[in-house]
């Protein structure tokens, strides 16, 4: 991590949030990890949707659909771990996001995971949609998540793929940052890992991450909550 932190200092990049990676079991298996890791989100590559990105800026471009959280107050560094209830109390909104995975190492999936982490976890960019402040009413664990490419569904998943619960992944991230750094800041975007399997993008693709779920309780006739995040890719 010191190598990664020093690189950020040299480049003078501004941190706009943090993300945890490998919260999805299949991604852990691919990178031969038993737990997540975390890295920075940079302000220069954080985009509100709809966004148009240039494929050649993020080679090779891989897409993940993720739950992002903004906080109403800081979760600062402290000696004792945060409980889930404390993290929940700090959450302002949950956002649909598309993470653009783009490593600077050749054939990064085949590299040692420590090299991947030193490469800022291969984070290329993040596109985020409007947040829902009524997140307590939503069943994030069972919420279906779909990736549509050029109008066709190519990946499906749910919040359960994110360490069992996206909020639990946020708790993990808060405690990791409390232990290793200066915590999580209010107003920044904090991502929790992919809810779907990864997708390799082709230039010219139009992508929509669709997060759709009903309110807690499962009562017939409950209003369905749908939130989309749109990204287009050009050569």
**What pLDDT sits at residue 1?**
56
DSSP 9: H
Are 203 and 234 in contact by the 8 Å Cβ rule? The answer is: yes
Domain ranges, ordered by start, for the chain: 2-234
Burial of 123 (0-12, 13-18, 19+ CB in 10 A): buried
Q: How confident is the model at residue 181 (pLDDT cuts 50, 70, 90)?
A: confident
Query: Is a pLDDT exceeding 70 seen at residue 48?
Result: yes
C-alpha span between 47 and 36 (Å, rounded): 24
The C-alpha atoms of residue 222 and residue 159 are separated, in whole angstroms, by 19
Q: What is the pLDDT of residue 121?
A: 58
What does each C-alpha distance from 23 to 44, 191, 208 come to in angstroms? 25, 11, 22
Residue 51 has pLDDT above 50, yes or no: yes
pLDDT digits (tens, 9 = 90+) for 126-180: 999 999 999 999 999 999 999 999 999 999 999 999 999 999 999 999 999 999 9
Assess contact for 39 and 13: CB atoms under 8 A: no
Give the pLDDT of residue 120: 66
- Residue of 75 and 32 predicted with greater confidence: 75
Yes or no: domain 2-234 corresponds to CATH 3.40.630.40: no
Average pLDDT over residues 195-208: 92
Return left, alpha or beta for 2; rule: phi > 0 is left, psi -120 to 50 is alpha, else beta.
Answer: alpha
pLDDT tens digits, 86-131? 999 999 999 999 999 887 777 766 777 777 776 665 678 999 999 9
pTM of the model: 0.88
* Rounded Cα distance, 119 and 4, in Å: 7
- pLDDT at position 223 is 36
pLDDT, tens digit, for every residue of 202-232? 889 999 999 986 444 333 333 334 567 776 6
């Amino acid at each position: 991590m010191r190598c990664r932190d020093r690189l950020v200092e040299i480049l003078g990049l501004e941190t706009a949030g943090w993300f945890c990676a490998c919260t999805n079991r299949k991604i852990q298996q691919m990178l031969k990890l038993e737990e997540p890791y975390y890295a920075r989100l940079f302000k220069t590559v954080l985009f509100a949707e709809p966004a148009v990105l240039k494929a050649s800026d993020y080679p090779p471009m891989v897409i993940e659909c993720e739950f992002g959280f903004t906080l109403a107050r800081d979760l600062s560094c402290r000696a004792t771990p945060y409980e889930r209830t404390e993290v929940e109390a700090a959450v302002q909104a949950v956002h649909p996001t598309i993470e653009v995975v783009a490593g600077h190492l050749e054939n990064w999936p085949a590299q040692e995971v420590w090299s991947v982490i030193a490469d800022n976890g291969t984070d290329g960019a993040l596109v985020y949609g409007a947040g829902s402040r009524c997140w307590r009413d939503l069943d994030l664990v069972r919420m279906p998540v779909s990736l549509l490419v050029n109008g066709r569904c190519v990946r499906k998943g749910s919040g359960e793929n994110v360490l069992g619960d996206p909020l639990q992944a946020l708790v993990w991230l808060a405690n990791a940052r409390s232990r290793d750094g200066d915590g999580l800041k209010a107003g920044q975007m904090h991502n929790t890992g992919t809810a779907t399997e990864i997708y390799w993008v082709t230039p010219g693709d139009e992508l929509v991450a669709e997060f759709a779920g009903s309110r807690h309780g499962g009562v017939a006739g409950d209003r369905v909550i749908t939130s989309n995040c749109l990204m287009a890719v050009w050569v």
